[in-house]
Amino acid sequence: MQQITIIQYGAGNLFSVANLIRRLGYTVTCTENPDILRQADKVIFPGVGQAASAMQRLQANGLDTLIPRLEMPVLGICLGMQLLCNRSEEGNVKGLGIFPADVVKFPATGKIPHMGWNQVSFQDSLLSRGIEEQEWMYFAHSYYLPPNDYTTAICTCNQIPFSAVIHKDNFWGCQFHPEKSAEAGQQLIQNFLNL
């Protein structure tokens, strides 16, 4: 039985994610203990809240240096995905630097935050198996990652395209909340656990 570990750092709706993983038949641990994280088969890095305070919590536990060195598959969700990047305009905070790209704020000219269901254009990838090419996912964010070389799915808000899924080496990220995205979100989590 593989060990699924969720990073617990005070900035996530980790219980919804944990409940989904349990419904899929897996054992899951929520922790900020570096030793337990190193032993995981898969790591999920959720996040809801403010980037600067989240990074402070990661730094306090040494997770800011541990996470980039993890070698098992890692999935960042929402703020977790954004923190995998170089920098965020939210608090002008330095991220973990795994993805060489910067997170920026949506302009105030449209409806912000981007909240609710929106259609995602998926490219064929390991995370998108069994998911419709134009699938609906649930979002809640005011900052976004522009499309880049690591983007594997795109969404549009206020006519601005942004990265909905990113991938580099053993690191994945999704801007939407798969745990709130019905069967398609569940399929994405299952695909990640199958990596």
Active site residues: 78, 177, 179
Per-residue exposure over 18-31, b if at least 16 CB sit within 10 Å of its own CB, e if not: bebbeeeebebebe
Q: How far apart are CA 32 and CA 66, in angstroms?
A: 11
Output helix, strand, coil percentages for the chain, rounded to the nearest 5: 30, 35, 35
56, β-bridge pairs: none
> Which residue type occupies 5?
T
Q: Which of helix, strand or coil describes residue 98?
A: coil
